[in-house]
Amino acid sequence: MNTVKTFFLMVVLSALLLLVGALLGGIGGVIFALVLAVVMNFSAYWFSDRIALKMTHAVEVTENDDPELYSIVREQASLAGLPMPKVFEIDSESPNAFATGRNPNHATVAVTTGIRRILTRQELGGVLAHEMAHVGNRDTLIMAMVATVAGAISMLAMFAQISAMFGGMGGRSRDNYIGLIVVAIVMPIAAAMVRAAISRTREYQADATGAQTSGDPLALASALQKLEAASQNKPLKVAEGASHLFIVNPLRGAGMAKMFSTHPPMEERIRRLQNIKPNF
């Protein structure tokens, strides 16, 4: 169900991009929008992981640096049937974790130093199972592509804003001028809503997959409960554009309107996990 919903929402997001292109320049605008999306997606495919790690100030650690963490990551990767990812650490008291990488063979998981202080080994295992689920489900690539398409829409909206300020491109008619206003104001909002909805869907799926591979959904549910409370008391200093990567919203602004939230309601995530039967 989550996969079908994700596919539908990605179709909607792509349609928004094409509509923006059409409103800006007809067939030529559609072609330009497609080219822009291809270029941005190519860049995201190759560089999104490096950008994410740089934005979060994550530092790679070796097995000698942290053998226990490596042991838990290796265990969850094995349970998920995935290659061992690279392991990074973020120096922050705010407890959180994320995964990135274009495919399972080029994956990275990152945890904050704070997460190690509040979770048990089983709970941290549940968190890393969730992150490995993102890797196995190709969510890291999906969300990078979604972000680039939404970014392309925002970029075209900026062009529309500039054009509208100068009375439209090439002496447009009143209807076309209204089209520019729609592109400039409505489309970025619609794209942000769709992007957030896709992110929430992938979080639900990663919870379910991680619970199945680890065999301990209650450990993940317990971890989420602790992380939600602690991360709100100690928000992680990270760019808003990277906040969707984390297992719980790292920003204090979690009270934002539900339709723009990149994370599902924590109560619902925990309820779903508690309804999954453990595999032991």
Helix (H) or strand (E) holding 86: strand 86-90
Q: List phi, psi (to 5°) of 146.
A: -60, -45
Task: Quote helix, strand, coil % in the chain, to nearest 5.
Answer: 70, 5, 25
- How long a stretch of residues is the chain? 280
CA dihedral 274, 276, 277, 279 (to 10 degrees): -110
Indicate which residue of 89, 131, 203, 228 is catalytic.
Answer: 131
* Rounded CA separation 238/224 (Å): 19
Question: Is 131 among the residues known to form the active site?
Answer: yes
What are the φ and ψ backbone dihedral angles of 9, each rounded to 5 degrees?
A: -65, -35
CA 38-102-35 angle, to 5 degrees, is 0
Cα distances from 101 to residues 156, 235, 239, 262, in angstroms, run: 27, 24, 18, 19
For residue 59, the 8-state DSSP code is E
Task: Report, as residue numbers or ranges, the catalytic residues.
Answer: 131
